[in-house]
Amino acid sequence: MSNLTPIPGRLFHEDVAAAKPDHLALSPVLLGGGVFGFDYNTADTLKSSTPAETLRLCLRYGVTAIDTSPYYTIAEEVLGNALDEVRDEFPRSSYQIITKVGRYGRTKADGFDYSPERVRASVKKSMELLKTDYLDGLYCHDVEFVSEQIDDAGHAGWKVGPDGKLREEDLKRWGLADGDEATIRGPGDQRVLDAMATLFALKAEGVIRCVGFSGFPLPTLLRLARLVKAHLQPLDIMQSYCHHTLQNTTLATYIPLFEAAGVKQVISASPLSMGLLRNEGGQAWHPASPELLKAQAEAVAVVTKAGTTLEAVALGYGLASAGSSASHTPIVVGLSTPEEVHETMRVYAELYSNPEARAAREPGTGTFAGEAQKKQVELEGQVAEIIRKAGAFNWTWDSGV
């Protein structure tokens, strides 16, 4: 059996029961449940004791929130069984579950159902699989596949200028100008509003504590956050992924705009860019461009020469907050094994034992005293520069188009 003793002990001490209304008491790191499905692991691993051991160790470190989805193949079932196994040590009140509705298949044509009836049925099924009678958080999953597409908001390219800022002309063409907040652009937007209305109703019924949506293209997510606020009420939670990494730091630019749209908590996911920022690279299905793949290979050579791995450097940056210290931005990390949990917590303890060190920064910047921290910042800068020279820094791939 793996070593399930936390080293150097419990890192996070958030009181789950002490969360403010419409907020979740989230530690800086959340456990990403996608790894408990077939996209990232084999049937043999998922049927073994590894998921329960991984979960127990996460909870012992104080990682007390879990993010999952029906879309992640059998992840909800695997997590439900694992949660049942650790219930002797961790009762339901000691952790938080966030799952999703709306996405159930691979394609835009037949993988989505945002109807109120399916939303309610999906919530019921998820709670059965996860062995709970309430959910702490619920997202409409990959909302850009259902909403209307505005100009090139969801297409591959850059969603900030070369200076990392948004341009007025981009705000206008993406439907983000002042006065556009309540504009319903078509039936897709109405389906999103209907689904969100159902989520807010389930919240009022006490089934869910916080609601919101998740997705990839930040301009689309921002437009929809403003739309939902204008027609219903502000989002409690919102999750984006792959926008706070060594390859893409765009989330930092958008966070103040999400907050202005009333979003109470912004959560980031996938600091390794869906597995791309690892020595072994991403899965075959990863949508990285040829330029980005070439930069990844060059970055691996640099960090290997320095005696570390690309995933360690990428994780060290991704564990920092994407927002200011006042805008605490938790990060969802997929952890498949106890060894991965230990390594992630080691990196966190080494770099961010002082919580103030998590404040937002660009790769390769920050004032740190320790040698490990200085090495981390130096390698961050080198990796980011490789990606910049390849023309792939802050580049995003198609999503929802």
Q: Looking at the predicted structure, is the pLDDT value of residue 335 above 90? A: yes
Q: Looking at the predicted structure, is the pLDDT value of residue 325 above 60? A: no
H/E element, 60:
helix 50-61
Q: Looking at the predicted structure, is the pLDDT value of residue 175 above 90? A: yes
User: Per mean pLDDT, which range of 274-283, 292-301, 364-373 is the poorest?
Assistant: 364-373
By 3-state DSSP, what share of the chain in percent is helix, strand and coil, each rounded to 5? 40, 10, 45
- How many degrees, rounded to 5, is the angle at CA 190 between CA 186 and CA 192? 120
Q: Looking at the predicted structure, is the pLDDT value of residue 326 above 60? A: no
Please report the sign of the dihedral spanned by the C-alpha atoms of residue 42, residue 292, residue 271, residue 157. Answer: negative
Pairing of strands 157-158, 395-396: antiparallel
Residue 286: phi and psi, rounded to 5, are -60, 135
Averaged pLDDT score across all residues of the chain:
94
Summarize the confidence of residues 82-96 as an average pLDDT: 97
Angle between helices 116-130 and 187-204 (to 10 degrees): 50
CA distance 332 to 67: 7
pLDDT, tens digit, for every residue of 180-238? 999 999 999 999 999 999 999 999 999 999 999 999 999 999 999 999 999 999 999 99
Please report the sign of the dihedral spanned by the C-alpha atoms of residue 326, residue 249, residue 343, residue 341. Answer: positive
Which range, 14-18, 23-27, 173-177, has the best average confidence (pLDDT)?
Answer: 173-177
Q: Is 72 a catalytic residue?
A: yes
Structure-model confidence comparison of residues 76 and 354, the more confident one: 76
pLDDT value of residue 3: 84
**Of residues 40, 61, 72, 139, which has the active-site annotation?**
72
Q: Looking at the predicted structure, is the pLDDT value of residue 61 above 60? A: yes
DSSP conformation letters of 285-344: T----HHHHHHHHHHHHHHHHTTS-HHHHHHHHHTS-SS-TTS---EEEE--SHHHHHHH
User: Per mean pLDDT, which range of 130-134, 199-203, 328-332 is the poorest?
Assistant: 328-332
C-alpha count within 13 angstroms, C-beta hemisphere, residue 116: 9
SS3 166: coil
H/E element, 58:
helix 50-61
Candidates 269, 263, 277, 274; CA nearest to 331 is 269
pLDDT value of residue 142: 97
pLDDT, tens digit, for every residue of 247-293? 999 999 999 999 999 999 999 999 999 999 999 998 888 999 999 99
Candidates 130, 123, 219, 210; CA nearest to 180 is 219
Radius of gyration over alpha carbons of the chain, in Å?
20
Q: Looking at the predicted structure, is the pLDDT value of residue 324 above 70? A: no
Summarize the confidence of residues 34-44 as an average pLDDT: 93
pLDDT value of residue 301: 97
Q: Looking at the predicted structure, is the pLDDT value of residue 334 above 80? A: yes
CA separation, residue 141 to residues 183, 261, 344, 390 (Å): 22, 19, 26, 32
Q: Looking at the predicted structure, is the pLDDT value of residue 154 above 80? A: yes
Q: Looking at the predicted structure, is the pLDDT value of residue 124 above 60? A: yes
Q: Looking at the predicted structure, is the pLDDT value of residue 330 above 60? A: yes
